[in-house]
Amino acid sequence: EGVDVDALRDLARRLATEAGEHVRTNGPERVEVAATKSTAVDPVTQMDRTVEELLRSRIATARPDDAILGEEGDDVPGSSGLTWVLDPIDGTVNYLYGIAAYAVSVAVVAGPVDPERWTPLAGCVHAVVDGSTWTAARGRGAERDGRALRANVPADLATSLVGTGFGYAAERRAEQGRVLARVLPRVRDVRRIGSAAIDLCRVADGSLDLYYERGLNPWDQAAGALVAVEAGAFVGGLRGRGPGVEMTVAGAEPVVRDLVALLEECDADGADDGVRS
């Protein structure tokens, strides 16, 4: 194919760490909401916008033929067949409240811009506050701060620590609460960390056993999903589908299958109710 995935990973790492440094050193005393997006509880801060601009300008210089898909701006078309998928701050609500779990997520994918169909090539998730940096390149494994990662292989669902997250729309949340009520009695415990990118990386490094969430955008999951896959985890959807807006489930085989089965049983992707994302 002639694509140097190591070079792409190194670039993703440079971009994400530079962006993280920017957030660390230029943060205002008190973070304010600049605007709201999908609903009144879905915030954007000035920092989300500034950091995305920074990432976009670096990519335009380093890789002018690549396309860009970012959370906070217009899609940039490209001619190379590669697309950079950017989340300047994944975990914006944590950033807003000064809760440490937020990250810059930078991925590069080949093929159609659709998490169910694209091929992730490289990615980096950089946790801004503690500087933890997870990277992966396709077929090359995943690392956290230079240490190779292997997802935890849980003994069973009942002793698994499961991460999840919630969308920003009230109806979706009511649904997610219904599913959570089915999952919680079946597992060790549940964490809502507040950054899908970090959740997926935690599955990769064994600091969560399993993760699921409905309604993720491509930028929330592009880099983290590759990190989890390269650490040996399954990342997919329900009913044999790939990870996408309807559901993303991550974790090591075989126990991840039990979570998939449970989520299918609760219709956690809404396949039976006709209410699609």
- List residues near ligand IPD by CB under 6 A: 71, 87, 90-92, 165-167, 194-196, 213, 215-216, 220
Task: Indicate the residue among 83 and 221 with the shorter CB distance to ligand IPD.
Answer: 221
| Minimum CB–partner distance for residue 72 and ligand IPD (Å) | 9
Task: Indicate the residue among 3 and 166 with the shorter CB distance to ligand IPD.
Answer: 166
| Minimum CB–partner distance for residue 221 and ligand IPD (Å) | 8
Task: Indicate the residue among 5 and 52 with the shorter CB distance to ligand IPD.
Answer: 52
| Minimum CB–partner distance for residue 86 and ligand IPD (Å) | 11
Task: Indicate the residue among 99 and 110 with the shorter CB distance to ligand IPD.
Answer: 99
Q: Which residue is nearest to ligand IPD (CB)?
A: 165
Write out the E strands in the chain.
35-36, 43-44, 67-70, 82-90, 103-110, 119-127, 133-137, 141-144, 147-148, 161-164, 189-191, 210-213, 234-236, 248-251
| Minimum CB–partner distance for residue 107 and ligand IPD (Å) | 14
| Minimum CB–partner distance for residue 147 and ligand IPD (Å) | 24
CB 126 within 8 A of CB 16: yes
Closest listed residue to residue 9, CA positions, set 153, 159, 120, 165: 120
Concatenating the DSSP letter of every residue in 153-214 gives --S-GGG-EEEE---SSHHHHHHHHHHHHHHGGGSSEEE--S-HHHHHHHHHHTSSSEEEES
Task: Indicate the residue among 17 and 195 with the shorter CB distance to ligand IPD.
Answer: 195
